Chains A and B, each alone.
Chain A
Amino acid sequence: MHASTLRQRAVAAAALGLALTLAACGGSSTSSDSSAADASAPASAASTAAEASPEPAAGGPITIGAFGFGESKILANLYAGALTAAGFEPSIIELTNREVVEPALESGEVQVVPEYLGTLTEFLNVKANGPDAAPLASGDVEATLAQLQTLANAVGITVLTPSPAADQNAFAVTREFAEANGLATLSDLAGYSQSNPVRLGGPPECPTRPFCQPGLEETYGMQFSEFTSLDAGGPLTKQALAQGAIDVGLVFSSDGGVAANDLVVLTDDLTLQTADNIIAAVTTSALTPALQTALDAVSAALTTEDLVQMNKMVDIDRADAATVAQEWLTSKGLVS
């Protein structure tokens, strides 16, 4: 073949080879394995945090994991604000649910998660002792905390002091539905459902969570005709309730938008839900006194009314979660 063609091809081949070699060298593998939920942007923050030494120096980078609903993002921002004031460099990863977040917390991919006392206890209980384990969480904060500490320490998680603020699963129907059928409590709904099986809406994990569908069926004897997988107390669930696609949907007891959306929360008269106080869960190897002090201060100052107020500002008034969190921290004197 032509000498110049041969030369051109040789040059092209060499350039391709060089490019491939450079690409291979440049992409050194990070420690971040595929926790399936990582969004691409925060993944670099997570891998940086995971690559940092297991015991970060006082004031090092900290990754806070949040669940996929508004309140969790607010709480994560509260923690982040307090940690920044204490000299840390926090970053927040928004993930989805506990099934995704808790393994990440155990492994240290995230180091701090704003958790819920009762639900976390049962989650770890089932994980350790199987799906038929006897419940260890209850309405008693102290007793549940003792159980949680044992379970958590066994998997490398330390839980701090629970906050007086609490938020548990709640089930709401539209005001019309409640008035038309005389419903005020979940027992009322269970009675109604005996002859008219109701349609439940909630997050995808609801059919397998003890305080969600199985709990309603076993504790209340509720009859469901179908389950629709939506979000955890988010806009899709409220939309589905409003348009009549579902009869009862999972919301949260500190939800700021329940009344505004013409919904009624049915009272948990048989106390299916446990004491779900906000509690900071920290990877044990990442825990330092400075970290604990900062997070404990936030927990101690937080009340359920504060949560409802902040949820309302974010969900209804469309305020930014970080801004709302910072205002609260400032108002409580936790940051200057």
Chain B
Amino acid sequence: MDAREGILVNPLGPVGAWFADPANWTGTSGVPARLVEHLWISARALILAFAIALPLGVWLGHVGRFGTLVTSIGNLGRAIPTFALLIILASWEPVGVSDLAAILALAVFAVPPVLTNSFVGVRDADPTAKESARGMGMTGGQVLWRVELPLSVPIVAAGVRTSTVQVVATATLAALVGGGGLGRFVVDGFGRQDTALMLSGVILVAIVCVAIELVLAAVQKALTPPPLRADSVLGAF
């Protein structure tokens, strides 16, 4: 009975055995090492994306212009297949087979949600509050920092969370070009038709994504000004 039939009959058996095997938790190809690689690739991609998308989206939202451009970039960016971009970058000599290919492809993937949400969050911050602030004599910069940004936190945070979870889930692609991370289990499992290995990798990625989502939700709540929190009358996210 090969591994495939075994999975159909007893799905947890071989996978449970894989998780229980201490050899899979040690060394350079064990779960902790792969997890660190995975998160490090994701982190660098996200930092790059946020460094580009957050300031740009916030500033455009503050001046309230180029809305169509931002939406278009957002839509086009989402349409770019990350896998194809990854292979193109890996086959291109200046980047080549390296973590950089995955980081760049994932950064492109991460930009649209953050850009769109920071633009919308700042632009659509309560207009009454913005007017009052200007009426009180605040400068543009003060309006941005003291009114627009705090009010935009729920929407901007939603963009950041979406982007982060998507990147962590998609960082599995790095394994397709010789990279590390949790995708290694999935790709190697597929190459060797080792279903237990593949499923274990998939389960690990799912657990990590859910965990990150929960952590970010807690961070978002902490950063949201109290009147805007979900448990307040005004909060809606």
Interface of A is mostly: mixed
Query: Would A103 and B191 count as touching, CB distance under 8 A?
Result: no
Q: Could you say which of B46-54, B57-65, B157-165, B182-190 contacts chain A? A: B182-190
A230 touches B97 (CB 8 A): yes
- The answer, yes or no, to whether A36 is at the interface (CB within 8 Å) is yes
A230 to chain B, nearest CB (A): 5
B175 interfacial by beta-carbon distance below 8 Å = yes
Q: Chain B residue with minimal CB distance to A204?
A: B191
**Contact present for A239 and B97 (CB under 8 Å):** yes
User: How far is B191's CA from A100's CA once the two chains are assembled, in angstroms?
Assistant: 8
C-alpha spacing A204/B178, complex, angstroms: 9
CB-defined contacts of B184 to chain A, threshold 8 Å: 229
Whether A296 sits at the interface, judged by CB under 8 Å, is: no
Is B4 interfacial (CB 8 A cutoff)? yes
Q: Which of the 9-residue segments B73-81, B88-96, B146-154, B227-235 touches chain A?
A: B88-96
Chain A, residues 228-240, CB within 8 Å of chain B (1/0): the string is: 1110000110011
Residue from A205, A228, A239 within 8 A of B93 (CB atoms): A239
Closest-CB distance, B96 to chain A (whole angstroms): 4
Distance in angstroms between the alpha carbons of A99 and B2 in the assembled complex? 11
How far is A100 from B2 in the complex, measured between Cα atoms in Å?
12
CA of A139 to CA of B205, assembled, Å: 44
By beta carbon, the residue of chain B nearest A37 is B190
**Taking the complex as formed, is A208 at the interface, i.e. its CB lies under 8 A from any CB of chain B?**
yes
Interface residues of A in 68-108 (CB under 8 A from B): 96-97, 99-100, 103
Say yes or no: is A242 at the interface (Cβ < 8 Å to chain B). Answer: yes
Q: How many angstroms between the C-alpha atoms of A236 and B98 in the bound complex?
A: 11
Shortest Cβ distance from residue B202 to the other chain A in the assembled complex, whole angstroms:
12
Residue of B nearest to A97 (CB): B191
Q: Cβ of A5 < 8 Å from any Cβ of B?
A: no
C-alpha spacing A99/B188, complex, angstroms? 12
Report the Cα distance A240→B96, complex, angstroms.
Answer: 7
Contact partner of B192 (CB less than 8 A), chosen from A37, A99, A228, is: A99
The reply on B72 being an interface residue by CB < 8 A is no
- Residues of chain A contacted by B198 (CB below 8 angstroms): 36
Once A and B bind, how many residue pairs between them come within 8 Å at the CB atom? 63
A203→B178 contact, CB < 8 A: no
What are the residues of chain B within 8 A of A239 when measuring CB–CB?
90-91, 93, 96-97
Decide: A96 near B190, CB < 8 A? Known: A235-B91, A243-B93, A243-B97.
Answer: yes
A103 to B190, CA, bound (A): 14
- Residues in A with CB closer than 8 Å to B190 are 36-37, 96, 100, 204
Contact flag A245-B191 (CB < 8 Å), given A201-B178, A229-B184, A239-B91: no
What sequence of 0s and 1s flags, for each residue 124-159 of chain A, a beta carbon within 8 Å of any chain B beta carbon?
000000000000000000000000000000000000
- B193 interface residue per 8 A CB criterion: yes
- Complex CA gap A235/B88 in Å reads 11
Residues 22-46 (chain A) with a chain B CB within 8 angstroms: 36-37
Q: Could you mark each residue 84-127 of chain B with 1 if its beta carbon is under 8 Å from any beta carbon of chain A, else 0?
A: 00010011010011100000000000000000000000000000
Q: Is the CB of A204 within 8 A of B192?
A: yes
Number of interface residues of B (CB under 8 A): 22
Asked if B143 is an interface residue, CB under 8 A from chain A, the answer is no
Chain B residues, CB < 8 A from A100: 190, 193
Bound form: Cα–Cα A145–B233 in Å: 78
Asked if A204 meets B97 with Cβ closer than 8 Å, knowing A236-B177, A236-B178, A245-B178, the reply is no
B91 touches A99 (CB 8 A): no
Distance from B116 Cβ to chain A, minimum over Cβ atoms (Å): 30
Is B191 touching A205 in the complex (CB atoms < 8 A)? yes
Contact mask A171-205 → B, CB, 8 Å, 1/0?
00000000000000000000000000000010111
Q: Is the CB of A243 within 8 A of B178?
A: no
Interchain CB contact under 8 A, B96 and A243: yes
Contacts of A236 in B (CB 8 A): 87, 90-91, 97, 177-178
**Bound form: Cα–Cα A46–B215 in Å:** 45
What are the residues of chain A within 8 A of B93 when measuring CB–CB?
Answer: 239, 242-243
B191→A240 contact, CB < 8 A: no
Instruction: List the A residue with the shortest CB-CB distance to B195.
Output: A36
Partner of B187 from the list A201, A204, A235, A242 (CB cut-off 8 Å) is A204
Interface centre among B87, B175, B178, B184 (most CB of A within 10 A): B178
User: Min CB distance, B192 to chain A, in Å?
Assistant: 5
Asked whether, in the complex, the Cβ of A245 is within 8 Å of the Cβ of B97, the reply is yes
> CB-CB < 8 A to B191: which residues of A?
96-97, 99, 203-205, 229
What are 28 A-B contacts with C-beta separation under 8 Å? A36-B195, A37-B190, A96-B190, A97-B191, A99-B193, A103-B193, A201-B178, A203-B191, A204-B187, A204-B188, A204-B192, A205-B191, A208-B192, A228-B97, A228-B178, A229-B187, A229-B188, A229-B191, A230-B177, A239-B91, A239-B97, A240-B97, A242-B96, A243-B96, A243-B97, A243-B98, A245-B96, A245-B178
A binding-site residues for B, Cβ under 8 Å: 36-37, 96-97, 99-100, 103, 201, 203-205, 208, 226, 228-230, 235-236, 239-240, 242-243, 245
The 3 closest A-B pairs by CB, nearest first: A204-B191, A99-B193, A228-B178
Starting from the known contacts A103-B193, A229-B187, 4 additional A-B residue pairs (CB-CB under 8 Å) come to A229-B178, A239-B91, A243-B93, A243-B96
